[in-house]
Amino acid sequence: MEVVYAFVNDNRVFGAFWERDGKAYMFLPHLKRSAIEMDWQHWYGTGAENSEELNDKKYSRLINFACMYFSMSGIYFERSSVCQMTTPMGCYYPRVWRGVPSLGVLAGYRAIPPSLTEFSAGKQAVVAATSLFGGLVDLFRYVEPNKLNDNVYGHRIRELLILACTEVESHWKSVLLLNMKVVPNNFHPKTRDYVKLCPVLKLKEWSVTLNDYFGSDLISPFDSWDESKSTQSLTWYDAYNLVKHDREGKF
């Protein structure tokens, strides 16, 4: 089975390449859904083999060829950033997809056409998120998102917190179960199970801010997630857990 190499450059362009049956294959999914087959004559015909700039001896001939080929399309990447794919070609982890910038070159690109079940789940998730965002916008009519109001609380805030956290739990559970080899009978996942998704989904790298509100801090909701304190280390989730079970005591 061929070894597949991939890169993501500073402009968030993803590319992959590999060698099979004496030919090189170059793949830029935002330009074409299939790979371009390249004969090695393209490499030798340009004299690249004898060029110190094109043929960096620290890297394999394939990586150097890919670097040259992609640069001809205006796409540049550091050879040192290339990594070998750890999963066989065509294999993937269900629902583990970080997405792409809305205005990036991959906008609208779907790596794998979703099944009807996945498509339906995706649409439902969008509707649920839209509903939550609508509730948040409505809340801002009464409580300005300002540091002076950080300690404000109320029934509507509690309701939104509970709805948001149950939605997060729903996604955690779906991703976890779809990627388990064997799901034990009567398995009821807890945060000690969900925290294992953190490195896989790279959750600590995600952050959000309220762009329309000047001075709004950058929020990294999973930055403090700790496997040894899988519930308490997420302050917002811990608050949800407490107020869900004890509104009068933890309101």
Sequence-distant (≥ 6) Cβ neighbours of residue 127 within 8 angstroms = none
What is the percentage of the chain residues whose pLDDT exceeds 90?
A: 64
* pLDDT recorded at residue 11: 83
In angstroms, how far is CA 144 from the centroid of its own chain? Answer: 30
Helix-, strand-, coil-residue percentages of the chain, each rounded to 5: 40, 10, 50
DSSP assigned state of 12: -
C-alpha–C-alpha distance, residues 71 and 19, integer Å: 18
**Which of 241 and 106 is assigned the larger pLDDT?**
241
**pLDDT single digits (tens) 176-219:** 999 999 999 999 999 999 999 999 999 999 999 998 888 888 99
Question: Does the pLDDT at position 102 exceed 60?
Answer: no
Question: Does the pLDDT at position 103 exceed 50?
Answer: no
**pLDDT single digits (tens) 79-96:** 999 999 988 887 888 888
The answer to whether the beta carbons of residues 5 and 65 sit under 8 Å apart is: no
Instruction: Tell me the whole-structure pTM to 2 decimals.
Output: 0.75
Question: Does the pLDDT at position 106 exceed 70?
Answer: no
Question: What string of DSSP letters covers 53-77?
Answer: TTS-TTS-HHHHHHHHHHHTTT---
- The mean pLDDT of the chain is 89
Domain definitions of the chain by residue range: 4-84, 116-250
**pLDDT single digits (tens) 54-74:** 889 999 999 999 999 999 889
Query: What average pLDDT does range 115-137 have in this prediction?
Result: 90
Question: Does the pLDDT at position 122 exceed 90?
Answer: no
Nearest one of 125, 73, 69, 128 to 99, comparing CA atoms: 125
Q: Which tokens hold the place of 114?
A: 């979703």
* pLDDT recorded at residue 108: 47
